[in-house]
Chains A and B, each alone.
Chain A
Amino acid sequence: MAKKTPGLNTGSMADISFLLLTFFLLTSSINTDQGIQRRLPPPLAPDQEVPEMNRRNVLQILVNKHDQLLVNGEVLTDVRQLKNRTKEFISNPNNNSSLSEQHSKYIEDLGENIMVSKGVVSLQNDRSTSYSMYVSVQNQLTKAFNELREEYAQQHFGKSFDKLSETQKKGVQKIYPISISEAEPSNYGGNR
């Protein structure tokens, strides 16, 4: 006659696994990294010349050590004004001669010629500018470009930028590339 194995008491198994569960819940974090993404330019070769640009095609943004903004020689009191200034500069709806030039460019992904701005945003900050100010400036600039893309998508495709197909998105991104140039840091003294 075969021996009967006594049944294991598995009642406490649930408790043990609960304990493990709570342990993992406490030690782990679900939140993923998020933030503003940028591409840094490759380093300048020593003999490379900085390309000359027409004055009207540059939106010069300076941030000083007191976190104050100067846009094309004009003081901005609030960072939030920066978004509209950038949008106006890039899109130049009234063909103003002091804002960026527009030129026709063939966009492969959309298969047609579209007027594209030559404008570049030049951003320069002091070594003593606070990081939070820098991020809010970058945030405003990103917002300007995102809104331009969104407006284009609404006008030409009748739907939100997020809902466009991948090629359409690429095309719209090429019409409004995030053209921010950060000046090479100049050594104007000051301490770290």
Chain B
Amino acid sequence: MEGIDKMGRFKKTGKKGVPELNMGSMSDIIFMFLFFFMVITTMRESSLFVVIQIPKATEIQKLEKKALVSSINIGKPNQNYIKKLGPEPRIQLNDQFAEPKDIVEFVEVEKRRRNEVERTMITWSLKVDEKVKMGIVTDVKQELRKASAFKVNYASRKDIER
């Protein structure tokens, strides 16, 4: 019956004030968050040297396995390179500029990175700026066919249906 008087009321005794919160588990919670985000996200891949605004489409599908996607970027060189290379659209593979004839080798290298089973399942994602003319894209597609890389994806962003 300590701390309560004869009338059954609480007595004002001892220290007043809010008890301190135990912050020990705070870091655990935050770490859990951190790992969660690390698992579901991927690091931004090699920086782009070309400017790409991908076109809009309504009938888009998501690519399921990120590990099985290799990107081919096509667009105008960005500010740092436009003086040197001019405004003509260029191809970027991994982190260098390339010509259509380099595609076959690129496909080989990308295939070698994966194991036997996954090789035929690679999706070649064409990330092409919407203003680019089809000429260069056709060249790339022809090279992909030569290298037997048949599964392509025309990267596009979601458009709201009108």
Contact = CB atoms under 8 A, between A and B. Distances in A.
B138 interface: yes
Q: Which of B27, B44, B123, B157 lies at the interface centre, i.e. has the most chain A CB atoms within 10 A of its CB?
A: B27
17 contacts: A17-B30, A21-B30, A21-B34, A27-B44, A28-B42, A29-B44, A33-B125, A34-B60, A35-B54, A35-B155, A36-B59, A36-B156, A38-B153, A38-B154, A40-B145, A143-B59, A185-B142
Interface of A: 10-11, 13-14, 16-18, 20-21, 24-25, 27-30, 32-43, 125-132, 134-136, 138-139, 142-143, 146, 185, 190, 192
Nearest to B157: A34
B156 A35 contact: yes
Contacts of B160: none
B51 to A, nearest CB: 13
A173 to B, nearest CB: 13
Nearest to A134: B134
Given A25-B37, A34-B62, A131 B31 contact: no
B42 A13 contact: no
Interface of B: 23-24, 26-27, 30-31, 33-34, 37-38, 40-44, 54-63, 66, 69, 71, 88, 123, 125-126, 128-138, 141-142, 144-146, 148-158
Given A14-B27, A127-B135, A135-B55, A35 B153 contact: yes
Contacts of B54: 35
B90 to A, nearest CB: 11
B82 to A, nearest CB: 17
Nearest to B24: A10
A132 B57 CA distance: 9
A13 to B, nearest CB: 4
Chain B, interface SS category: mixed
A17 B37 CA distance: 13
Nearest to B155: A35
Given A24-B38, A131-B132, A40 B141 contact: yes
B152 to A, nearest CB: 5
Contacts of B150: 39-42
B136 A192 contact: yes
Contacts of B146: 43
